Amino acid sequence: MDAATFKRAGKAYASRPKRGPQKATTALLTGLLSCRQCGGPMYRLATRDGLFYRCTADPKFGAARKSECRNMVPLAEMDAEVLKWLAASPQPVYDSVWVEGSNYEAEIEQVNMALFELPRRDLPEDEEDAERARLRAERRRLEALPSIPGHWEDLETGETYGQMFIRLAGDAAALRAEIKGRIQFRVFRDVNDCSVRLLDPDLANML
């Protein structure tokens, strides 16, 4: 590339519109809001008319089909509706806790070791036979006991969403961190009216 071509390319690049610096803040409902009409995720969109959440369902990102509903709601109004719901909600907050499973493999192995070591104890023949019978009976009992697999269990934290809202004093970032994974909000709007028409909170742990 000669100098003249390089200079022209530099001017063309400089004339392109820039995105500007990325904002550090994340919209309250990004990733927490879905379209009630098609189930697609809704993300923040900046337009000449302001900030909105818009349905972006696309099979490339796991949706059943590409969004055709053009569902879009004003960000400020949507956030206000959700904050109002949180402030008044008597719904209990749950945490998912991993509960370890239980089985009796360790106990069965101890019985097997006791049977293996039994001849080395030099017991009288009758006592050895009786002990062998006792150990085998214990092994059968343990093998018959039901095993419980490990599982996730939803347990109440002792706090409602309304109490959480008060505790966090309306801190949007802290609220987002607390409710992420716990609630998924679905929203519907009239095609000719971008105002929020219907809001469904789905408590994730109760789905």
Q: Among candidates 12, 33, 129, 48, which has minimal Cα distance to 82?
A: 33
Q: How far is CA 47 from the centre of its chain?
A: 30
Q: Which two tokens stand for residue 199?
A: 């809001």
Q: Work out the angle at residue 39's Cα, subtended by the Cα atoms of residues 78 and 67, and round it to the nearest 5 degrees.
A: 95
Q: Which two tokens stand for residue 34?
A: 């879905």
Per-residue tens of pLDDT for the chain, all 207 residues = 445 544 454 555 454 444 444 444 568 888 788 877 777 778 888 888 888 888 776 666 555 556 666 677 888 888 888 888 888 888 888 888 888 888 889 999 999 999 999 999 999 999 999 999 999 999 999 999 988 888 888 888 999 989 999 999 878 888 888 888 888 888 765 544 444 445 566 654 332
Q: Give the Cα separation of 74 and 154 in Å (integer).
A: 33
Q: Give the Cα separation of 85 and 71 in Å (integer).
A: 21
Furthest-apart CA pair in the chain: how many Å?
106
Residue whose entry in the numeric block shows the structure tokens 């995720």: 41
Q: Give the Cα separation of 98 and 177 in Å (integer).
A: 20
Q: Give the Cα separation of 187 and 185 in Å (integer).
A: 7
Rg value, the chain, Cα = 31
53 Cβ contact list (under 8 Å, min separation 6): 27, 29, 30, 33, 42, 43, 44, 45, 72, 73, 75, 78, 187
Backbone dihedral angles phi then psi of residue 39, each to the nearest 5 degrees: 80, 0
